[in-house]
Amino acid sequence: MQNVRVTDDAFDEFSFLPAQAAELGATGPIPAAERLTLALPDGRTLSALRFGDAPPAVTFLHGAGLNAHTFDTTILALGLPALSIDLAGHGDSSWRSDAAYTAGPLADDVVRALEAWTTSPQTLVGQSLGGLTAASVAARRPDLVASLVIVDITPGVNPDEGPAQIRAFFAGPTSWASRDELVERALSFGLGGSRGAATRGVYLNSRVREDGRVEWKHHFAHLAAAVANGDADAPTLDSAVRDLLSESGWHDLAAVTAPITLIRGERGFVSAGDADDFSRRLPAASVVSVPARHNVQEDIPAELAALVRAASGRRSPAV
């Protein structure tokens, strides 16, 4: 559970939206945005962002080490009322004491969120960790999912290649003197896109402690650092990653009855061979390759929004 006191409680997490809209060339009004909190039966809380005045039509699930805000620009370009959920251990959602950050436990929370915050089956969009979680949700609760969009992940991805970069990025100190240091680290790993985008991402994914030090909000960084520092009692992320990228993920996908779209970043984690394997196992699914890295939503948000609209079967209604 997260009980860390911070000093930037007054920070307006939606203050970046006008600049993001300007980057898109959007001229209309910024959609209403609010943070939601859901109490879970075990005492944890789940947090999310809701955009628009109407009930959500699209729900987004982020990847490991990210948070609900990673989809802000995509949602602005989408033109549909949307929900973006902080998975357990990320953003403003509680950490899990058992560090069970795999598809099944995460999907349990998402199901409760969809029951509480949506009124119709969703176009469920999941990137990386969120993609495998979304598949688990769609497999067990087809009544909640109208279509499934998976962004740059399959259960066949080699856990020793792409995901290793993320583990290495977070296996550093657990606190920093300033957010500027975190921005430089992200850029040195080729993460975050432009400096402006990396700065925005760091501000929305970190917090300032009472002692003035800055730390990541999500549990993954703390777990990775503990392992890197030789803590024998620390849960290992390697085992969690291998659990995610296992045959159980294919079982979930095979059980999904909703239309499935895989969006592959050409410079991301899903190789051409992985995409071919996906098509062989799921011949009815659509596979789209796009010129992007793993975080497609940050590289080409407008293009991703267009693909999500197409998967939702809608054109471009106003939010």
Q: Are 102 and 243 in contact (CB under 8 A)?
A: yes
Round to whole Å and give the CA distance between 285 and 304. Answer: 17
Residues with active-site annotation: 128, 152, 294
* 3-class secondary-structure state, position 148: strand
Round to whole Å and give the CA distance between 91 and 219. Answer: 9
Averaged pLDDT, 61-72: 95
Q: Are 175 and 214 in contact (CB under 8 A)?
A: yes
Query: Where is pLDDT greater, at 301 or 10?
Result: 301
Q: Are 179 and 206 in contact (CB under 8 A)?
A: yes
Please count the other Cβ atoms lying within 10 Å of the Cβ belonging to residue 109: 24
Which of 109, 97, 111 is closest to 45 using CA atoms? 109
**Beta strand segments in 128-259, E:** 145-151, 206-208, 214-216
Q: Where are the alpha helices (DSSP H) in the chain?
A: 17-24, 72-78, 103-117, 129-140, 162-170, 179-188, 195-204, 219-228, 237-244, 247-255, 272-281, 296-299, 301-312
Domains and CATH numbers, the chain: 17-312 (3.40.50.1820)
Kindly tell me if the per-residue pLDDT of 247 is higher than 50.
Answer: yes
Averaged pLDDT, 275-296: 96
Most distant CA pair in the chain, distance:
54
- pLDDT, residue 169, reads 74
Kindly tell me if the per-residue pLDDT of 317 is higher than 50.
Answer: no
The band of 308, judged by pLDDT with boundaries at 50, 70 and 90, is very high
Full-model pTM: 0.90
Which of 163, 160, 99 is closest to 132 using CA atoms? 163
pLDDT > 90 fraction of the chain, expressed in percent and rounded: 70
